[in-house]
């Protein structure tokens, strides 16, 4: 297993369906298969390192941990989008209030 390190600015916590976490000024992936890591290695801004030996031979346990990280990344992305939408709606409401105030005079 390998890990991918992304040093690109503004890297996401979910890249091509793989969960990444901030670590030491870069984004570091969960453990991935060697073949997946090789594809990332060909892209500038990504490098591959040996992964953790977290596995105990039980792929089901490893899979559930991976899914949890991926779900967390997806949830954080959804929360960020919801917050941005709320801020945009509040800004629109504020703009509408300013425009309505001048129309009555």
Strand duo 2-6 + 46-50: pairing: antiparallel
Domain range annotation of the chain: 2-103
pLDDT confidence tier of residue 42, bands split at 50, 70 and 90: very high
What is the number of other CB atoms lying within 10 angstroms of the CB of residue 36?
18
Give the Cβ contact number of residue 66 at 10 Å: 17
43-76 pLDDT tens trace: 999 999 998 765 444 444 444 455 566 667 777 7
Mean pLDDT computed over every residue of the chain: 80
Rounded average pLDDT over 30-43: 93
User: Where would I find the H helices in the chain?
Assistant: 34-41, 59-103
């Amino acid at each position: 297993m390998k890990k991918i390190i992304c040093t690109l600015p503004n890297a996401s916590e979910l890249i091509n369906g793989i969960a990444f976490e901030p670590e030491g000024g870069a984004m570091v992936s969960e453990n991935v298969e060697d073949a997946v890591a090789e594809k990332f290695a060909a892209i500038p801004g990504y490098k591959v390192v040996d992964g953790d030996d977290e596995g105990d031979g039980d792929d089901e346990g490893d899979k559930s941990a991976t899914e949890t990280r991926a779900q967390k990344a997806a949830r954080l992305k959804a929360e960020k989008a919801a917050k941005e939408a709320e801020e945009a709606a509040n800004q629109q409401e504020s703009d509408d209030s300013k425009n309505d105030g001048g129309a009555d005079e």
